Amino acid sequence: KNEVEQSPQNLTAQEGEFITINCSYSVGISALHWLQQHPGGGIVSLFMLSSGKKKHGRLIATINIQEKHSSLHITASHPRDSAVYICAVILGGSQGNLIFGKGTKLSVKP
């Protein structure tokens, strides 16, 4: 069993739809990243969370430390949101290495 599980693996939505991507983890963490990877490879960190909720434009990320669960929401989705979204947890402890989920491939159709 992977230490970081994401769902769904693939997601197709119509432009304007509300989207939710989920991430569950089974290890102790100090923080969690939601990453976005566009075709061509580059990765950008959208959010880093250690508690609560963060919002940036149409993107909202939440984390529940007790339940070891995080969600990424996209409101009013747009074709330019099409990308792979990756949940990555930072292990607790001094080393702080990352463990990645397998990613959710999102395709938003016009």
Partner 1 sequence: EADIYQTPRYLVIGTGKKITLECSQTMGHDKMYWYQQDPGMELHLIHYSYGVNSTEKGDLSSESTVSRIRTEHFPLTLESARPSHTSQYLCASGTLWGNTIYFGEGSWLTVV
Binding site for partner 1 (CB under 8 A): 30-31, 33, 35, 40-45, 48, 50, 86, 88, 90, 96-98, 100-103, 105
Beta-carbon contacts of 48 under 8 Å, excluding residues fewer than 6 positions away, are: 31, 32, 33
Minimum Å gap between C-beta 47 and partner 1 is 11
Minimum Å gap between C-beta 42 and partner 1 is 4
| Closer residue to partner 1 (CB): 103 or 106 | 103
Q: Kindly report the number of other CB atoms within 10 A of residue 56's CB atom.
A: 9
| Closer residue to partner 1 (CB): 11 or 90 | 90
Residue type, 72: L
Minimum Å gap between C-beta 31 and partner 1 is 4
Torsion of CA 1, 72, 17, 6, to 10 degrees: -10
